[in-house]
Structure 1
Amino acid sequence: MLKLFVILVLLFSAVICKSSEPGYPVCCDSTIDLSLQGLIQDHVDRLMDLRHPDWGWANTPEAVLGIQLGDMQAFFGLNKTIATMEAEMKAEIYTASVGKLGYYAMAVQSVCEDPREFGGINIIARILTNLKTQFGETTRTQPKDGWYSYGLGIQALCVSNQHVPISTTLRIINGQSSDGSYGTVHSVDETGQMLLAAICARKQVKNNFFLKRWLTLAINKASTFLLTDINPDNTGNIWIGNKYSTPAALLGLQKAGVTFGMCNVIAHDLANGLEATEPEGAISERLPAMSGKSVLVLGSDDWTCVVPDPIPAGYVPSYTPDATSECYNVSASGHISVKLSVQDSIGANVSGPYDSTQQVNNVENGNTLLQVMTQAQCEGIFQFETTPSSFGEYVVTVNGVTANDTIHQYWALINANTLQYLSVGVSQYVPGDGENILFQLSVW
């Protein structure tokens, strides 16, 4: 009932930004006030605490992009990180997903270097080649790296002033579900990224009225889908999908020119939602939404870089993932992909839509679900906590939502392809290529 009330308020309200109520840049044409600047600095500080000894992160280009869009002035040690990013890019240029390549290209663009000549490699050319292989045989309806990754690749082309191929643009239009979402599980995550991709692709269309019209319809449908998937969590915060899918959704709606009454409420909850144990990926994605800058700003003539603050005296990056995450021991050189979906609303339809879906690529065939989850957490796209049990590790928290066992809540594990419950736990289950595992908050 509360969700229905929230939706009605959203659909019949408009954003109001008064001088006495600054609001948030992602919702209004407003500047960053001192309070929000302090919250942004807290997020940057947390990312700096998670910096590895080589001056990079688990996902270095994503972190670079987050800080550059959030507060580039605070990015001390930037040149050392760029050197690490170049080495990492060279090591995986031929194996990375199209989304990871997109992160590299946009991160390079954000530091005012050329993604067509970064360390002697043309990242844009690699993205174009990778995009051509995403659908393989003509019968494939979903990109092999997932729509989230596909959208990032398209955005990278746009901000580097590279023309998006017509075949790719048509995939944006034809790949959309009837409800406006993308992906077989109607994901907010994937839809938010594809909304930004559709917006930037439309901007490139000059003389094709019908193509521009189709893209406009796709943008409108995706925006409507996001607006009708707004949920309160069990702590009273309001999200689009969930906490981790909200940043891209907010930025997509902003660039689509959509205003809605609870935007400032959601942005406030997002800005004040920093947790001590949050993974770097969540922070990197949140910073652009807090500052109101999507990656599309990188393609404008107004984008300039500033000299960052000097490295603080005595600062040495030293974060090493703890033994429970085993990030340094996770293999990411396999040949299968697995999706992890989350549904944190009690009683929601098991067939979707889901609050978020993330695709984990380069999974070693034969890895357990727990290993896949750990790989996703190390990449900053999924968060979980477990507790030991006689049946192996028992999932208690997913993406910041903890099952409350005092009211009989638990995280159900479901094969979203077959809608069957898993017969064993995360420590024993071995997912297959293309499998989608749903973590559904349930009661017994």
Structure 2
Amino acid sequence: MQAYPPNDRYYAQQQPGFGGQPGYFQQFPGYSYAPSAPQAIAQPFPIYPPHYDQLPPSTPHMQTGRPRPLARESSRASTPGRSDRPLKSAMKMKRTKTPERGASVGSVPLPRGRSESLHRQRTRSGSRRGASIPRFTPDHLLLSLRSTNQLLLENITGVDMGEELTEAIIPIWPRGANSIENRRGKLNVEFAGHPWSCSGLESIMAGKMICRLYLVLARLGYTYLSTINVGNPWKPPSMIFVDSTPDYEAQVFMIMFSKRGDRLTILDGPAELTQQLGIELRATFPRKITTDRATEDGLHIFEVRKGGYGSPAPRLLLGAVIAPSVDKSILIAFVLRFFNYAGFRLSGSVPMGTKSVLSFGQRKEMWIFRSAPWRPGTRQDGRPESRQSRAERAP
């Protein structure tokens, strides 16, 4: 009995390019009858026509070695009885024209998404000002004399201004400065020693520093405006200077009255001005001016005669009531009027430090006078023009 039938009957036809496999069917060894005809085994790989191997890849951006994309339109077109028209659902949808699936991807420009990086550089909010917001420049300076050896000037315009001020005032003080801080619009100078509470020759040097500071500020274009914070016993007052026209010909000097009002001291005053003041005092208060002298340190001292009983400002000395013969308020008013006629204006009082450790007691005051800038219509001698003279000059 033949176990295998002829090959031409049961073997599948060989396809070009592939080797045929022999037909095979299972046989149970317990039966002796001939088995039924075997069925052909499906090929393990799809068979493509020879012309497909010669076509170039439809996607030029894909590299060699990657699997070839499926030609879906070709497979659909090869299906018998399939129409080339789009599906019904696709006809109902209103959309923009899209390229066919079988077309090359590189031939149709595709919309591109965001190309820049999503990671932005970190910024510090509030650290920089916008370009449209101008930087505020203060036009008011604040000057305060703290403790007994510190000078603080705030709202200066730059480092150059602070350097100019320090070069002008520090060489005057013989002991120099312990520290100088000039940054962020503030000038803080700590002097060696105690210039604001000293006496004798050092007090004269401290007054000269204040006069020089006023003079430099006048040349830089700052004028004294007012004094604030005068009612706080724990914090020194602050003097305010406002921005104005620079005055390169300004003259500054200082005066001090004693507590009783019987002594007037002028520091760095013009010689002609102090001499004329002595003449006016003797003419106004005859036989009441006892001292009229100048020193080599730039001081000019005037003293008023002590009065007797019934004087307006008495004081007790060895059981006797002795007072100046001229009231202090009258003397102050006369001096202010004289300097005003001479072309000098009171530019504030500088409160000096005290010798007390707890800052109790009365502060010494130095009155600063500055020459008024010349304006059209003023008199040649510097005195202000009165209303009567203006009325006479008017046509």
TM-score strictly above 0.5: no
Give TM-score, length-normalised by structure 2: 0.24
TM normalised by structure 1 equals: 0.22
Structure with bigger gyration radius: 2
Relative to total residues, which structure has the larger strand share, 1 or 2?
2
Which of structures 1 and 2 has the larger relative contact order (alpha carbons within 8 angstroms, sep 6+)?
A: 1
